[in-house]
Chains A and B, each alone.
Chain A
Amino acid sequence: GAGVSQSPSNKVTEKGKDVELRCDPISGHTALYWYRQSLGQGLEFLIYFQGNSAPDKSGLPSDRFSAERTGGSVSTLTIQRTQQEDSAVYLCASSLDGLGMSAFFGQGTRLTVV
């Protein structure tokens, strides 16, 4: 596609449920990033995929969070047993090679845990 696509754009879920957020990066981009942004706050790094290398998971806040990237393209961020503090906008970005190239962002998924 022309840009990074994220789905759904909005998700409301009950506390304790699992959710999956999807990211379709720009075609050909080998690097993919997930960030979390709480209301009025900056971007909190979650996880980074670069080619076939092991992902950098150092930003994942707990073991309830996981992400995978299949076939070097689409990525899914999974949050298990959601909590109210998980409510935020989850942003995905991709870049051509991650080696200093600029990253382009999707519009984000707004997650609300009730």
Chain B
Amino acid sequence: GESVGLHLPTLSVQEGDNSIINCAYSNSASDYFIWYKQESGKGPQFIIDIRSNMDKRQGQRVTVLLNKTVKHLSLQIAATQPGDSAVYFCAENQAGTALIFGKGTTLSVSS
């Protein structure tokens, strides 16, 4: 079946470094992608989204890149902070259908 997945289950970085979290998707019909952050014991929190007619979108300290040719999505976090430590999920969606999530990448930031 079609699914969204992540390349690495864990990522460890030093405080102040830039982090890149990757995600591969297989459904070429997906037209909307979201990154979520989930801290321990909490529900996922929206970070940033991007539509399929874009290849880059920037937020505060975060950038999402979409490469539709190779069906690849990435989340870049600038100047990573200890508070960024969490599990990050990408999710895909087609209009009118449910969001489908990948398995998640655990980001650990050390001081």
Hey, which bits of chain A sit against chain B, CB under 8 A? 4, 33, 35, 41-43, 45, 48, 50, 53, 56, 59, 91, 93, 98-100, 102-108
Contacts and interface: CB of A to CB of B under 8 A. Distances in A.
B44 A91 contact: yes
Contacts of A108: 42-43
A37 to B, nearest CB: 9
Interface string B5-41: 0000000000000000000000000011010100000
Interface residues of B, number: 24
Interface stretch (B45-53, B56-64, B68-76, B77-85): B45-53
Interface of B: 31-32, 34, 36, 42-46, 49, 51, 89, 91, 93, 95-104
A100 B51 contact: yes
A42 B101 contact: yes
21 contacts: A4-B43, A41-B103, A42-B101, A43-B44, A43-B91, A45-B99, A48-B97, A50-B96, A53-B96, A56-B98, A91-B44, A93-B44, A98-B96, A99-B95, A100-B93, A103-B34, A105-B36, A105-B43, A106-B43, A108-B42, A108-B43
